């Protein structure tokens, strides 16, 4: 069966290396699909945190949204980075470039929000 690929997703009857390669390709496709769906929503916490702290500069009370999104942003950014890094190994650079730029902007917002939170906690 060498040279022929099964289209039904089954690896029965295939040599072990070919079956492993097909399984690896399917896993890479699933992770890439997850990256395309999840990276932007995962970065949203950082953007919300940054915006909330900017608004807080004009409004005196610190909002719960600002604090929660600030605390959530490093975790969600880490997941977005891992998904994009894994996809970067299997996809052309031009396909993941936009996601890296979004992650970079979200990272800047997260750093700003964490600095504002630290400053607020020091003032207490």
Q: What is the pLDDT of residues 9-28, one digit of tens each?
A: 555 666 888 888 888 889 88
* DSSP-assigned states of every residue in 6-59: -SSS--TTS-HHHHHHHHHHHHHHHHHHHHHHHHHHHHHHHHHHHHHHHHHHHS
**Least trusted range by pLDDT, from 21-25, 96-100, 102-106, 115-119:** 21-25
Q: What is the pTM of this model?
A: 0.78
The pLDDT tens digits of the residues spanning 81-97 come to 999 998 898 888 888 99
């Amino acid at each position: 069966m060498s040279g022929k690929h099964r289209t039904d997703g089954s690896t029965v009857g295939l040599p072990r290396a070919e079956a492993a390669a097909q399984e690896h390709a399917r896993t890479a496709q699933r992770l890439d699909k997850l990256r395309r769906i999840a990276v932007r929503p995962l970065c949203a916490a950082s953007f919300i945190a940054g915006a909330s702290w900017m608004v807080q500069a004009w409004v005196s009370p610190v909002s719960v949204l600002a604090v929660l999104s600030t605390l959530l942003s490093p975790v969600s950014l880490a997941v977005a980075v891992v998904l994009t890094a894994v996809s970067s190994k299997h996809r052309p650079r031009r396909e993941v470039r936009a996601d890296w730029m979004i992650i970079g902007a979200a990272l800047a917002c997260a750093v700003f929000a964490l600095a504002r939170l630290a400053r607020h906690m020091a003032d207490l």
